[in-house]
Chain A
Amino acid sequence: MPQLLLEIFSEEIPARMQQGAARDLERMATERLKAAGLTWDGLTTYAGPRRLTLVVDGLPAATPDREDEMKGPKASAPEQALEGFLRKTGLTRDQLVERDGVLFAVISQQGQATPGLIPGMVDQIIRNFPWPKSMRWGSGTLRWVRPIKRILCIFDGHVVPFEIDGIPSDAITEGHRFLGSGAPFAVSDFVDYRHKLEREHVLIDVADRKLRILEQAKAACAAKGLSLVDDDGLLDEVAGLAEWPTPILGDMDPQFLSLPPEVVRLSMKVHQKYFAVRDPSKEGLAPNFLVVANVEATDGGKALAAGNSRVLSARLNDARFFWDEDQKVGFDAWNAKLSGVTFHAKLGTLAERVERIAALAREIAPLVGADADQAETAARLSKADLASGMVGEFPELQGVMGGYYARLAGQPDAVADAIRDHYKPQGPADTVPTAPVTVAVALADKLDTLVGFFAIDEKPTGSKDPFALRRAALGVIRLVLENGVRGSLVEMMKPAGTMIIAGRKMSADTKYSADLLAFFVDRLTVLLRDRGQRHDLVAAVFALGDDDLVRIVRRVEALAAFLATDDGANLLAGYKRASNILRAEEKKGPVPTGMVRTGLPNQPEPETALAFAVGAAQTAVDIALDAEDFAAAMTALAALRAPVDAFFTDVLVNSDVVEERENRLKLLGQVRDVMGKVADFGQIAG
């Protein structure tokens, strides 16, 4: 079966766009092949620094013949309707077919040779390609991410001839810019293409490029007893910057190891796209770097390693300049600068925010077992590094630099650590701080953000969350849960709200807490769902009015375990039945409540048994809940399962005898009430 091979060869495509382009090419080719009525066995795309490649295997030589029937007007329809239909189909009246009084047009299309369809498809793909940014070049009008140099298009071993904006198709491509033979060459099919390109030092598949980088980088490190510091993001990027990626280990002036390792790594990564290297026998980084070059240099890479090393030294000299200068400035001057930096027009300057966080951290400190003075100090210093030279250069180092500078300024470790880590956790994969002072500042930082933006009604909507409030809320939840911070969330937010409303002179009835609480419940639900919990259980527990996250989660966990048992599932069914009956009764009028009577004449045994069981369960549930022993509360409820089942099997609630009926309704009411102390079972899907 014939194969289609397409290569669009251009000047260097930005690394960050390549893999998206491979996906777009796959999607667009699939859509257009389908629309042309073609079928195929396999379709693959590749993207690299200078080329996009599409290979489609198992295409037919031609599309099948097709007959499409189009429904027209009724045979009795007025003349205009018929004329319109004839115009649309290009047929005459006697070519139409009549069936059940309706006219049909049969449009037959002869199959077309596949090669004839390809030029139009390629033209459409190239002209409509969704590059994030595209450009014109020379005097032409075509747009592409960078100038297109060649188009290779082969179907079944033959060139598919066409031209796009003056660029003719051909069977010719070229190899690596520096390592290739320098002469363009012809290929016959994909295997030949891939093979010849590899001989010309081009790996078209990003997976091959990554593999080559990792294998050679690790080998280069291992040869010197060192190990590579993995960085997947960097690997993705460098794999898009070289057609023949060649790792070279270079030496770094060891004097720079006195800089914080974060600074060295970031300077290497952001500016130079180097991997950092470690000596497994020592702390910190090794005085080396790993650069992924696009050339196998004729001197084995000596000159380019030396060149890169000099450039890195210049970069690290800049970093050391910031490091030294920053230490001459210090926290007071930085904090003073923060009063000139707006955090948000409606929420004031960073200096105002720091004041609030400091007061809030002090309030939270006792809840997390932190020293209140240390928490306040750490919070007061927490944003100062935003005004430092180093963070100005490397915003990613916020917090980290503050931590270093605080330690150098003689702050105790607890304070310095809190400054360093108070932005954590930054995402679901990030670790959660456990040091008490850090937890206090981290909570204060996030609560001020959340309360502030909710108070000014800047809540996330749909996919829009410009202030990363979802992340902040998840951060609060994880800090609270993983550190077992007990207390009411609403109470924890209150001082933040009071300060923001007073400090920003907002209306006294500014509301935030109900929406924010609901937002937290949402985030908690998502978090528990990601951990495999049922989402309806959070709502069932939250409906009880509790806002102690630790307790909510414990309840949810106990409830989930209970519902997974036979007793739990059956009791839930019993609950639903009871509450359905009660709801129906409530519609008719007030449902009797109060003491359930036992020992009535002719009272069925299951009724008496349930009455006693409910009484016992009430006591046991109360005791268990007081002790926050939710497993015990569930066990107490489990004891109701058999009596409830027996009651529904043997007793008719709707007795003709009014007293019997009322007593049974009261009994069901008590079942519902006692279960309702543990969770709102009505919210749980049965």
Chain B
Amino acid sequence: MQPFPEPDLSTSTEPLAFQDLILTLHRYWGEQGCAILQPYDIEVGAGTLHPATVLRALGPKPWKAAYVQPSRRPGDGRYGENPNRLQHYYQYQVILKPNPDNLQELYLGSLAAIGIDPKLHDIRFVEDDWENPTVGAWGLGWEVWCDGMEVTQFTYFQGVGGIEVDVVSGELTYGLERLAMYVQGVDNVYDLKFTKEGLTYGEVFLENERQQSEANFHGYDVDGLKRRFEDMAAEVSRLLDMRGPQGQPLVLPAYDQVLKASHLFNLMDARGAIAVAERQSYIGRIRELCKACALAYVEQERKTA
């Protein structure tokens, strides 16, 4: 069985539809030996936070994966009225551990696969050191520009959860909507062709943006969010203290609670419920929880390596 339909680029000058862009990347990275995973089923702000990246980057074991991850940024909602900003959008995430020597060339190959010719367009690697203070992760790399537009974050992970990595992973995060807008020559995200047949991104997501924006900014009950944040935070330490059937700490479920707490924080933030002084303290708490998971995870990984 053919796992993915292969878009026929050789005969077609038609730019890729949104879903064909994803399928092309899946095929390309699948051929590079990546496990093609599905999105994580918990709200996250970035594809990096999927345990397939943030946890697998730790420890000495090799790992290759690619997946699409819906990213939720409650504060970025614009009720579907801004042509570039969404509170829910897709990132295409690739992680290769250890990073292969030719990662830049592999990456450029993926651009060629989706129809970007580097002799026609200006591809540039512009310094951008990535950092996610909430999960204590950092790395060095670039934003990749295509004709002046940032299309990918390219990072060599140096640390995660406040811990220096054993082996460096190369991480690629493609902004799928931007890339598709570029490839299709569209100025408004809602005008993107989702399918070749002409279903638009707007038909799929516009109503979602309207309702979610309203809920993010005015809907959620702040006290309820705060309460749930505390519950989740307490759950993390409890799960980490428990032991699984092989005597391991319950890192994976504990990390799920960290993600949930992090999303609750983002919702509170969008509601304007976080005072300036409280902000650092919330971020610090999430980082500590994440660090606890990372430490437990890396210990387990080194033991079983």
Which residues in B have their C-beta under 8 angstroms from that of A307?
121-122, 146-149, 182
Contact yes or no, B124 A303, CB < 8 A: no
CA distance A321 to B84 in the complex (A): 12
Query: Among B122, B125, B126, B167, which residue has its beta carbon within 8 angstroms of that of A291?
Result: B122
Q: Given A137-B168, A272-B148: A15 and B101 within 8 A (CB)?
A: no
Q: Given A136-B158, A311-B149: A304 and B120 within 8 A (CB)?
A: yes
Which residues in A have their C-beta under 8 angstroms from that of B140?
133-135, 145-146
- Closest chain A residue, CB of each to CB of B128: A14
Q: Is residue B187 within 8 Å, beta carbon to beta carbon, of the partner chain? A: yes
CA distance A304 to B119 in the complex (A): 10
As a 0/1 sequence over residues 300 to 319 of chain A, the CB contacts with chain B under 8 angstroms (1 = contact) are 00011001101111100110
CA distance A340 to B142 in the complex (A): 36
Which residues in A have their C-beta under 8 angstroms from that of B276?
340
Contact yes or no, A310 B118, CB < 8 A: no
Q: Is residue A294 within 8 Å, beta carbon to beta carbon, of the partner chain? A: yes
Q: Given A137-B156, A241-B124: A312 and B101 within 8 A (CB)?
A: no
Contact yes or no, A15 B127, CB < 8 A: yes
The number of residues on chain A lying at the interface, defined by a beta carbon within 8 Å of a beta carbon of chain B, is: 44
Name B105-122 residues within 8 Å CB distance of A.
Answer: 118-122
Q: Is residue A462 within 8 Å, beta carbon to beta carbon, of the partner chain? A: no
Q: Is residue A297 within 8 Å, beta carbon to beta carbon, of the partner chain? A: yes
- Closest chain A residue, CB of each to CB of B149: A311
Q: Is residue B91 within 8 Å, beta carbon to beta carbon, of the partner chain? A: no
Q: Is residue A147 within 8 Å, beta carbon to beta carbon, of the partner chain? A: yes
Which residues in B have their C-beta under 8 angstroms from that of A12?
125-127, 142
Q: Is residue A507 within 8 Å, beta carbon to beta carbon, of the partner chain? A: no
Q: Is residue B191 within 8 Å, beta carbon to beta carbon, of the partner chain? A: no
Contact yes or no, A291 B148, CB < 8 A: yes
Indicate the member of A11, A307, A308 with the most B CB atoms within 10 Å. Answer: A307
Contact yes or no, B148 A312, CB < 8 A: yes
A301 to chain B, nearest CB (A): 8
Q: Is residue A636 within 8 Å, beta carbon to beta carbon, of the partner chain? A: no
Contact yes or no, B125 A303, CB < 8 A: no
Q: Is residue A139 within 8 Å, beta carbon to beta carbon, of the partner chain? A: yes
Which residues in B have their C-beta under 8 angstroms from that of A273?
148
Which residues in A have their C-beta under 8 angstroms from that of B167?
138-139
Name B79-117 residues within 8 Å CB distance of A.
Answer: 82-84, 98-101, 104
As a 0/1 sequence over residues 122 to 148 of chain A, the CB contacts with chain B under 8 angstroms (1 = contact) are 000000000001111111000001110
Contact yes or no, B120 A133, CB < 8 A: no
CA distance A136 to B169 in the complex (A): 10
B95 to chain A, nearest CB (A): 14
Q: Is residue B129 within 8 Å, beta carbon to beta carbon, of the partner chain? A: yes
Which residues in B have their C-beta under 8 angstroms from that of A272?
148
Query: Among A16, A137, A149, A310, which residue has its beta carbon within 8 angstroms of that of B187?
Result: A310
Q: Is residue A293 within 8 Å, beta carbon to beta carbon, of the partner chain? A: yes
As a 0/1 sequence over residues 145 to 183 of chain B, the CB contacts with chain A under 8 angstroms (1 = contact) are 011110000001010000000011000000000000010
Contact yes or no, B127 A137, CB < 8 A: no
Contact yes or no, B168 A138, CB < 8 A: yes
Contact yes or no, B187 A308, CB < 8 A: no
Which residues in B have their C-beta under 8 angstroms from that of A136?
156, 158, 168
CA distance A274 to B100 in the complex (A): 33
Contact yes or no, A178 B127, CB < 8 A: no
Contact yes or no, A242 B148, CB < 8 A: no
A20 to chain B, nearest CB (A): 13
Q: Is residue A298 within 8 Å, beta carbon to beta carbon, of the partner chain? A: yes
Q: Is residue B135 within 8 Å, beta carbon to beta carbon, of the partner chain? A: no
Q: Is residue A299 within 8 Å, beta carbon to beta carbon, of the partner chain? A: yes
Which residues in B have their C-beta under 8 angstroms from that of A294?
122-124
CA distance A317 to B85 in the complex (A): 12
Contact yes or no, A138 B147, CB < 8 A: no
Which residues in B have their C-beta under 8 angstroms from that of A313?
187
The number of residues on chain B lying at the interface, defined by a beta carbon within 8 Å of a beta carbon of chain A, is: 34
Contact yes or no, B158 A135, CB < 8 A: yes
As a 0/1 sequence over residues 185 to 200 of chain B, the CB contacts with chain A under 8 angstroms (1 = contact) are 1010000000000000
Query: Among B99, B120, B126, which residue has its beta carbon within 8 angstroms of that of A138?
Result: B99
CA distance A330 to B173 in the complex (A): 39
CA distance A317 to B139 in the complex (A): 31
CA distance A178 to B122 in the complex (A): 10
Contact yes or no, A303 B101, CB < 8 A: no
Name A158-216 residues within 8 Å CB distance of B.
Answer: 177-179
Which residues in A have their C-beta under 8 angstroms from that of B148?
272-274, 291, 307-308, 311-312
Name A327-343 residues within 8 Å CB distance of B.
Answer: 340
Q: Is the interface of B mostly helix, strand, loop or mixed?
A: loop
A25 to chain B, nearest CB (A): 19
B62 to chain A, nearest CB (A): 9
Contact yes or no, B122 A297, CB < 8 A: yes
- Closest chain B residue, CB of each to CB of A16: B127
As a 0/1 sequence over residues 276 to 306 of chain A, the CB contacts with chain B under 8 angstroms (1 = contact) are 0000000000000001011101110001100
CA distance A299 to B121 in the complex (A): 10
CA distance A21 to B121 in the complex (A): 29
CA distance A139 to B126 in the complex (A): 24
Contact yes or no, A297 B121, CB < 8 A: yes
Indicate the member of A15, A178, A179, A313 with the most B CB atoms within 10 Å. Answer: A178
Which residues in A have their C-beta under 8 angstroms from that of B119?
178-179, 295, 297-298
- Closest chain B residue, CB of each to CB of A241: B124
Which residues in B have their C-beta under 8 angstroms from that of A133?
129, 140
CA distance A340 to B121 in the complex (A): 46
CA distance A312 to B149 in the complex (A): 9
Q: Given A11-B104, A178-B118: A138 and B149 within 8 A (CB)?
A: no
Name A100-139 residues within 8 Å CB distance of B.
Answer: 133-139
CA distance A18 to B182 in the complex (A): 31
Q: Given A12-B142, A138-B167, A307-B121: A149 and B127 within 8 A (CB)?
A: no
CA distance A303 to B121 in the complex (A): 7
CA distance A29 to B156 in the complex (A): 29
Query: Among A146, A311, A321, which residue has its beta carbon within 8 angstroms of that of B147?
Result: A311
Which residues in A have their C-beta under 8 angstroms from that of B142?
12
B130 to chain A, nearest CB (A): 11
- Closest chain A residue, CB of each to CB of B142: A12
Contact yes or no, A314 B120, CB < 8 A: no
Which residues in A have their C-beta under 8 angstroms from that of B158?
135-136
Which residues in A have their C-beta under 8 angstroms from that of B82?
321
A309 to chain B, nearest CB (A): 9
B61 to chain A, nearest CB (A): 12
Name B262-279 residues within 8 Å CB distance of A.
Answer: 276
Contact yes or no, B98 A139, CB < 8 A: yes
Which residues in A have their C-beta under 8 angstroms from that of B120?
297-299, 303-304
Query: Among B98, B101, B122, B125, which residue has its beta carbon within 8 angstroms of that of A295?
Result: B122
Contact yes or no, A308 B147, CB < 8 A: yes
A198 to chain B, nearest CB (A): 19
A112 to chain B, nearest CB (A): 34
A295 to chain B, nearest CB (A): 5
CA distance A297 to B116 in the complex (A): 13
CA distance A317 to B188 in the complex (A): 12
Which residues in B have their C-beta under 8 angstroms from that of A11?
104, 125
B186 to chain A, nearest CB (A): 9
A607 to chain B, nearest CB (A): 79
As a 0/1 sequence over residues 56 to 81 of chain A, the CB contacts with chain B under 8 angstroms (1 = contact) are 00000000000000000000000000
CA distance A297 to B98 in the complex (A): 34
Contact yes or no, B101 A149, CB < 8 A: yes
Which residues in A have their C-beta under 8 angstroms from that of B123?
178, 294-295
* Extra 20 A-B pairs, beta carbons < 8 Å, given A12-B126, A303-B121, A307-B148: A14-B127, A137-B99, A138-B101, A138-B167, A139-B167, A139-B168, A146-B156, A147-B156, A272-B148, A273-B148, A274-B148, A297-B119, A297-B121, A298-B120, A307-B121, A307-B147, A311-B147, A314-B83, A318-B84, A321-B82
Q: Pick 16 A–B contacts, CB within 8 A, sort by A.
A: A12-B126, A14-B127, A15-B126, A136-B168, A137-B98, A137-B168, A138-B100, A138-B101, A139-B168, A147-B99, A272-B148, A294-B124, A295-B121, A307-B148, A310-B185, A314-B84
For the complex of A and B, list the 5 residue pairs with the smallest distance between their C-beta atoms, beginning with the closest: A307-B147, A14-B127, A12-B125, A293-B122, A135-B140
